[in-house]
Amino acid sequence: MKKSNRIQRYSAPERINHWIVAFCFVFAAVSGLGFLFPSLNWLLHILGTPQLARILHPFVGVVMFVAFLLMFLRYWKHNLIQRDDIEWAKNIHKIARNQEVGDTGRYNFGQKCVFWLAIICLVLLLASGVVMWRPYFAPAFPIPVIRLALLVHSLAAVGLILVIMVHVYAALWVKGTITAMVEGWVPAAWAKKHHPRWYREIQRKQQEKQP
């Protein structure tokens, strides 16, 4: 494909940031499921041994939160709910039939929901994880608070796993999304079809740069 027919969607630092979050999520989720369900204890070997997994799990979680925080600071303005998003949500049945609805910006309403739900779950995971993190912070909290933190941590973890499953499914469903996060670019026709308002903004910026 000619470079003139491409539009950069993500820079190299953005893509690296995304994949750091993705890999940390896999390690944290798999080891967390091993802690939560005795029948899945064998998953703890993903980080070496169960003992090593117990040590590394919270550190991996902190790295994931910090990496996602960088993404949050970079993308939060693009994920604010707007009037066009309401139209998108009302016509979700058309979206399910692969029809585009509304004048979508850089992210559609579904992507924005994933973004905000992910940050909510991560904040809950970090806060509850600190409370139950032995031997560093847990001794400072009473047992009832630690028990509550365990419940919140488990529910937030399940919530985040479900959110990421939706995110992955949508990325596979919309052809071209994976290419954007691997190579950084999308075809101009793809951008015009799926994110028309964002496409026009890119075109306007390119025209302004021309002498």
User: Distance between CA atoms of 189 and 169, rounded to whole angstroms?
Assistant: 22
User: Distance between CA atoms of 117 and 166, rounded to whole angstroms?
Assistant: 11
pLDDT score recorded for residue 181? 94
User: Distance between CA atoms of 197 and 200, rounded to whole angstroms?
Assistant: 5
* Model confidence at 3: pLDDT above 60: no
For residue 97, give Cα distances in angstroms to 32, 121, 173, 174: 35, 29, 11, 12
167 catalytic, yes or no?
yes
* Residue with more model confidence, 161 or 3: 161
For residue 182, give Cα distances in angstroms to 6, 72, 118, 126: 14, 19, 21, 28
pLDDT score recorded for residue 206? 82
Rg (CA), the chain: 20
**Percentage with pLDDT > 90 across the chain:** 71
pLDDT score recorded for residue 2? 56
Q: How far apart are the first and last CA of the chain?
A: 26
User: Distance between CA atoms of 27 and 47, rounded to whole angstroms?
Assistant: 7
- For 94-111, what is each residue's pLDDT tens digit? 887 777 788 899 999 999
Q: Where are the domains of the chain?
A: 8-209
Please tell me the pTM assigned to this model: 0.91
**Homologous superfamily assigned to 8-209:** Transmembrane di-heme cytochromes, Chain C (1.20.950.20)
User: Distance between CA atoms of 28 and 129, rounded to whole angstroms?
Assistant: 12
Chain centroid to CA 55: 24
User: Distance between CA atoms of 40 and 182, rounded to whole angstroms?
Assistant: 31
Find all residues with CB under 8 Å of 136, minimum gap 6, and list them.
none
* Residue indicated by tokens 């600190």: 130
- Tokens in use for 143? 């047992």
- For 60-93, what is each residue's pLDDT tens digit? 999 999 999 999 999 999 999 998 888 888 888 8
* Model confidence at 208: pLDDT above 90: no
pLDDT score recorded for residue 154? 96
- For 18-57, what is each residue's pLDDT tens digit? 999 999 999 999 999 999 888 988 998 887 889 999 999 9
* Residue indicated by tokens 């996602």: 68
Whether 171 contacts 22, CB under 8 Å: no
Q: Is the dihedral of CA 174, 7, 110, 73 positive or negative?
A: positive
The residue from 57, 167, 194, 195 that is catalytic is 167
